[in-house]
A and B are shown apart, each in its own frame.
Chain A
């Protein structure tokens, strides 16, 4: 094991012992997305109209609000991991890695928190 080239620094260390979790979680959340997003777009297509009262009333019902909260968790996890893989493939400069780190480790959590709070306000806030 040398310390010159990047391949030399990692040669002989073996695997990282954590890739399988990423791979498996990506698959499990994919199956979750098949159910959740299909439910979302079929429900939206079936709404009688898209007025504020109709759409907000739909979101406030128990099943849609739970589905939307699960989307904020499951779909954001899936998207976060997918974007992470994309960035790992394309971003190689140190400056870009800082932006990439934010995109993967800060933005999805902030976004999901915003989404969950919005659904909770609609579901629990009354009319």
Chain B
């Protein structure tokens, strides 16, 4: 409490707010959600559209997003593609963990300051661990 008094004012302004896990996770929830909506669903449509169009369209998708076999531009997009795919899996795990936290908050639980901060931090730990586990499984098996 003494510390909180010292840090005042904590009015709703980006440069005055004191950072806490709950607000970080709240902002991440919006960023990951919109990232998944635009980049994630966009990539999903390219993938399913390429699969429906035929073998050469699917190969083009793979070349641009992962393999880079065509050289030139594809070499660059293949690196970006890997970054985006890893980022999207993390975004999904973060958004899902944070979303489950929201469902729990919706039933009225978890509002105690310490509990709230602990669950917020936990969503980040969970999302990072799941992302590492997912890609370790896909790439190393």
Contacts and interface: CB of A to CB of B under 8 A. Distances in A.
Contacts of A86: 30, 33-34
B92 A79 contact: no
Nearest to A122: B52
Given A30-B103, A41-B92, A111-B45, A59 B51 contact: yes
Contact of B52 (A30, A31, A118): A118
Interface size class of A (residues with CB under 8 A): 20 to 34
Interface in B33-89: 33-34, 36-38, 41, 44-45, 48-49, 51-52, 55, 58-59, 62, 89
Interface string B80-113: 0000000001001000100110110010000000
Contacts of A96: none
Nearest to A79: B37
A27 B99 CA distance: 9
Nearest to A58: B51
A37 B51 CA distance: 18
B51 A55 contact: yes
Interface residues of B, number: 28
Among the interface residues B33, B44, B59, B106, which one has the most CB atoms of the partner chain A within 10 A? B44
A76 interface: yes
Contact of A82 (B37, B58, B92): B37
Contacts of B51: 52, 55-56, 59, 118, 122
Contacts of B134: 41, 45
Contact of B137 (A38, A45, A121): A45
Given A30-B99, A34-B100, A82-B34, A114 B55 contact: no
Interface of B: 30, 33-34, 36-38, 41, 44-45, 48-49, 51-52, 55, 58-59, 62, 89, 92, 96, 99-100, 102-103, 106, 134, 137-138
15 contacts: A33-B96, A33-B99, A34-B100, A52-B51, A52-B55, A59-B51, A83-B34, A83-B37, A83-B38, A86-B30, A86-B34, A111-B41, A118-B45, A122-B48, A122-B51
> 3 nearest interchain CB pairs?
A79-B37, A118-B52, A118-B48
Interface of A: 27, 30-31, 33-34, 37-38, 41, 45, 50, 52, 55-56, 59, 68, 71, 75-76, 79-80, 82-83, 86, 111, 114-115, 117-119, 121-122, 125
